[in-house]
């Protein structure tokens, strides 16, 4: 199984970034669409699919169970088999990504009983799968958690009203998958309205599923029991990719324009940055190819910014709140702000602990508990040699800090970054960074 480079990056920090960078397509949207392709008996063609490790792992899983996957540049064509062969599933690939959980919903419509490997991905403490279990159980599904897999069984799937006790993106998507092939109307209340959920709604509509309430917390789904159509869908832009470059511009005190950002999923982040004193301008540039995602160019004026610590704690909330995947970027931004910033990462038990690695680059952090950390700035960052934590977003903020740190830095074992970001070295080099792969 190819896993991509796990070596590292060498960074000569302290360089100003300049020019513009185009936002890459959505990691979370792409992996959800790969799972969704299992619902369709026809061919699914996905355009602008990011070639990242998370996508490669799921494609390996799909191929192992019989799906034909054909790449042409960043277009991926998926042709399903007559019969899915779960006995041949690539377990090694499956356990390397938590996204494998989203296979449960589609597979319900192929099997009345099946096993799916327990997932891995980022090591961030306890991430309960119970929201998935409770949501799917409403449709008549029974899920037993074993030591290394989930055992899933059901008899007759019936339309239901599902109340999610947690607005989880992936639990909402699994509930959507379950409801989409059931004749009749189901309702998902307190659903996530996040960008990857909206992507799945756009794709399911192409297959004949009627969905009302896209972008809200109540989704009404009228299922299409027989999905057999050749469809094409274009993956939308990634807000966390855009946020990476926003944070990089701030940390390196640079002027940088991030083009085609999914603006509705960055508005709270920008409001916080504006309150901290960051000058920027936003220019509307239309809608992504899916007809759903609104886009804008964001021009960051990092050279004249005099940042102040945000006066309240910075914490994530379900959309339309600050995105949980964007929260870590405020840890590295806080190193350049006057005063003390409190970040509350309430979802994950371990992620705030990883933020303390910034100290090795000259940051001043104080871990209050596994969820809360205070960061005092501004600090003059300096180069160091570090090993990536086994979590995507904490790894990327170390890279950003190294871009802003004086001197040479080495970041090793960057597989966790490659899980979610494509061509970072070439993209950063193009805007003035001095970075190379090892």
Closest CA to 28 of 195, 177, 204: 195
Cα–Cα dist 13/434, whole Å: 7
3-17, 198-212, 242-256: least confidently modelled range: 3-17
Is residue 171 within 8 A of residue 163, CB to CB? The reply is no
Cα–Cα dist 405/434, whole Å: 12
Predicted local distance difference test score (pLDDT) of residue 120: 56
Largest CA distance in the chain: 63
Helix (H), strand (E) counts: the chain:
14, 23
Q: What is the mean pLDDT of residues 386-414?
A: 96
Query: Which secondary-structure segment (H or E) carries 437?
Result: strand 434-437
Cis peptide before 378 (omega within 30 of 0): yes
Task: Between 135 and 89, name the one with better pLDDT.
Answer: 89
Q: What is the mean pLDDT of residues 82-94?
A: 96
Closest CA to 404 of 421, 380, 438: 380
Cα–Cα dist 334/330, whole Å: 6
303-347 per-position pLDDT tens digit = 999 999 999 999 999 999 999 999 999 999 999 999 999 999 998
Closest CA to 354 of 376, 378, 371: 371
Cis peptide before 355 (omega within 30 of 0): no
The answer on pLDDT for 175 being more than 80 is yes
Angle between helices 27-36 and 53-64 (to 10 degrees): 10
Closest CA to 172 of 152, 186, 184: 186
What are residue 391's phi and psi, to 5 degrees?
Answer: -150, 135
Q: Does domain 8-24+237-437 bear CATH number 3.65.10.10?
A: yes
Predicted local distance difference test score (pLDDT) of residue 173: 96
Task: Please give the order of strands across the beta sheet that includes 294-301.
Answer: 20-22, 255-262, 294-301, 280-287
Predicted local distance difference test score (pLDDT) of residue 125: 44
119-172 per-position pLDDT tens digit = 754 544 444 577 778 889 999 999 888 888 999 999 999 999 999 988 889 999
Burial of 334 (0-12, 13-18, 19+ CB in 10 A): buried
Residues of the chain with CATH 3.65.10.10: 8-24+237-437, 27-234
The answer on pLDDT for 109 being more than 60 is yes
Predicted local distance difference test score (pLDDT) of residue 348: 82
Is residue 212 within 8 A of residue 219, CB to CB? The reply is yes
The answer on pLDDT for 4 being more than 80 is no
- Token digits for 365? 């952090």
The answer on pLDDT for 232 being more than 90 is yes
Domain 27-234, second-level architecture: Alpha-beta prism (3.65)
pLDDT, averaged across the chain: 94
């Amino acid at each position: 199984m190819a896993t991509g480079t796990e070596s590292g990056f060498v960074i000569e920090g302290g360089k100003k970034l300049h020019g513009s960078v185009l936002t890459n397509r959505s990691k979370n949207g792409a992996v959800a669409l790969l799972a969704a392709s299992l619902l369709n008996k026809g061919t699914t063609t996905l355009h602008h699919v990011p070639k990242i490790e998370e996508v490669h792992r799921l494609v390996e899983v799909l191929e192992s169970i019989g799906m034909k996957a054909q790449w042409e540049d960043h277009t991926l064509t998926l042709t399903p088999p007559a019969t899915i062969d779960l006995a041949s599933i690539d377990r090694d690939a499956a356990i390397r990504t938590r996204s494998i959980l989203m296979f449960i919903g589609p597979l319900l419509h192929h099997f009345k009983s099946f096993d799916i490997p327990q997932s891995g991905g980022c090591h961030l403490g306890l991430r309960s799968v119970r929201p998935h279990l409770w949501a799917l159980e409403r449709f008549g599904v029974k899920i037993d958690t074993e030591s290394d897999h989930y055992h899933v069984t059901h008899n007759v799937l019936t339309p239901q009203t599902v109340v999610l006790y947690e607005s989880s993106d992936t639990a909402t998507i699994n509930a959507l998958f379950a409801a989409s092939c059931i004749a009749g109307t189901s309702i998902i209340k307190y659903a996530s309205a996040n960008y990857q959920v909206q992507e799945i709604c756009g794709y399911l509509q192409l297959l004949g599923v009627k969905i009302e309430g896209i972008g809200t917390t109540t989704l009404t789904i009228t299922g299409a029991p027989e999905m057999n159509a050749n469809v094409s869908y274009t993956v939308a832009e990634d807000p966390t990719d855009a946020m990476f470059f926003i944070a990089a511009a701030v940390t390196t005190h640079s002027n940088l324009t991030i083009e085609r950002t999914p603006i509705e999923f960055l508005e709270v982040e920008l409001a916080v940055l504006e309150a901290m004193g960051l000058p920027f301008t936003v220019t509307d540039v239309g809608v992504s190819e899916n007809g759903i995602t609104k886009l804008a160019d964001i021009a960051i004026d990092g050279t004249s910014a005099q940042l102040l610590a945000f006066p309240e704690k910075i914490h994530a909330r379900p959309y339309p709140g600050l995105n949980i995947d964007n929260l870590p970027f405020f840890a590295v931004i806080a190193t350049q702000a006057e005063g003390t910033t409190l970040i509350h990462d309430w979802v994950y038990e371990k992620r705030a602990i990883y933020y303390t690695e910034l100290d090795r680059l000259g940051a001043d952090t104080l871990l209050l508990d596994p969820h809360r950390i205070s960061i005092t700035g501004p600090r003059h960052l300096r180069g160091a040699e570090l090993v990536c934590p086994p979590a995507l977003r904490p790894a990327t903020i170390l890279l950003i800090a190294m871009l802003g740190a004086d001197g040479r830095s080495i970041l090793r074992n960057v597989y966790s970054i490659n899980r979610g970001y494509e061509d970072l070295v070439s993209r950063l080099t193009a805007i003035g960074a001095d970075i190379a792969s090892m």
